[in-house]
Amino acid sequence: MELAILFGGQSFEHEISIVSATTLKEKLRDFELTFIFCDQDHTLYKIENEKMKAQTFSGGAYKNEPIVSLVQGGILRKKRFGTERLQMPVLNLIHGSDGEDGTIAGVLDFYNIAYIGPRREASVFSFDKRYTKYLAQAIGVKVLDCEVLHKEGSRDVHTPFPFIIKPSRLGSSIGVSVVKEAEALEYALDVAFEFDESVIIEPFVEGVKEYNLAGYSANGVMHYSIIEEPQKSDFLDFDKKYLDFSRSARVNEADLDEVNVAALQENFQRIYSGLFEGALIRCDFFLIDNEVYLNEINPIPGSMANYLFNDFSSVIKSLLEDLPSGNTIHVDYRYIHTISAAKGK
């Protein structure tokens, strides 16, 4: 089965996307994979499988690879004599901006290319943590209360210490700080505002239990991964998550009773259904006093959360068999012809 993996992008998470792509190269050995790298200038390169190494990108050697472009229904590579047209579904593996903000989804839809990944509407609600909270509240999923601060606005914070500061539109714990005293506030805000124009501030709950659950829908059936309880101190910082993205070995299942498992799956389905079809997502939840709270939605999880599934290749095959199809509108210019006929032209 053929599959193109699109990765890179102009994003603070650019390098994480490269790590994810190299990990999936090993996890999807029974696929005929084509790797398409999007550099920070939005030029697309076709990378040979044997060159899918970190050094290819860090040293700039990727620029010696063939440049490709997206065209209606596929990927086009110009050759010395003629062109090569690649027609296969795409797995959107660009983390952060470009990949998760709806940009790539819009481009793939525009060119009528089938793809695994969040659609534009889903991207809007999951990329911005503020909108994620609005979505959750609208569908009956609990979230922690938060404040929103803007770069050019007031820095007055009303949430009691300790609290956590997060850039609104960034993942991988980049720019995130736990603030336990007033003296650390200004620096933490400066760090967060380096990455975004707005930040959210949430209560930091000491010792809270966090659980990760991935899943997808295919042929009208929800499929869930195992539930993981990540091991952490205060929170998973960038360095820990960076290493986490390269995981390929299956993790241990969290020790949860059937009631809590069912509650987590129910909340996941509420979030997924009617919005994320065509994507494999991971939701990170808190359990507080046996109540489920959504922490965040990962619409393109690191390495596609392969480590949460027994048979990851079958997961991707199942998704490919039931991708959403866009509406094709036939334009026949009937209205213009009618007007022209009425005017005698």
What was the pLDDT predicted at 242? Answer: 47
Return the CATH number at 95. 3.40.50.20
Average pLDDT of each block of 10 consecutive residues along the chain (345 residues)?
97 94 96 97 97 94 96 92 92 96 96 97 95 96 96 93 92 85 95 93 91 96 96 54 57 93 98 97 96 96 95 97 84 83 67
What was the pLDDT predicted at 206? Answer: 86
What was the pLDDT predicted at 331? Answer: 86
The structural domain count of the chain equals 3
C-beta of residue 303 within 8 angstroms of C-beta of residue 5:
no
**Same domain for 215 and 69:** no
C-beta of residue 7 within 8 angstroms of C-beta of residue 38:
yes
DSSP 212: E
What was the pLDDT predicted at 294? Answer: 98
pLDDT tens for 168-206 read 988 767 889 999 999 999 999 999 999 999 999 999 988
**Same domain for 198 and 62:** no
Assess if residue 332 is contained within a domain.
no
d(CA 241, CA 72): 36
d(CA 4, CA 31): 10
Structural domain span for residue 264? 123-142+207-320
Assess if residue 307 is contained within a domain.
yes
What was the pLDDT predicted at 340? Answer: 73
pLDDT tens for 261-307 read 999 999 999 999 999 999 999 999 999 999 999 999 999 999 999 99
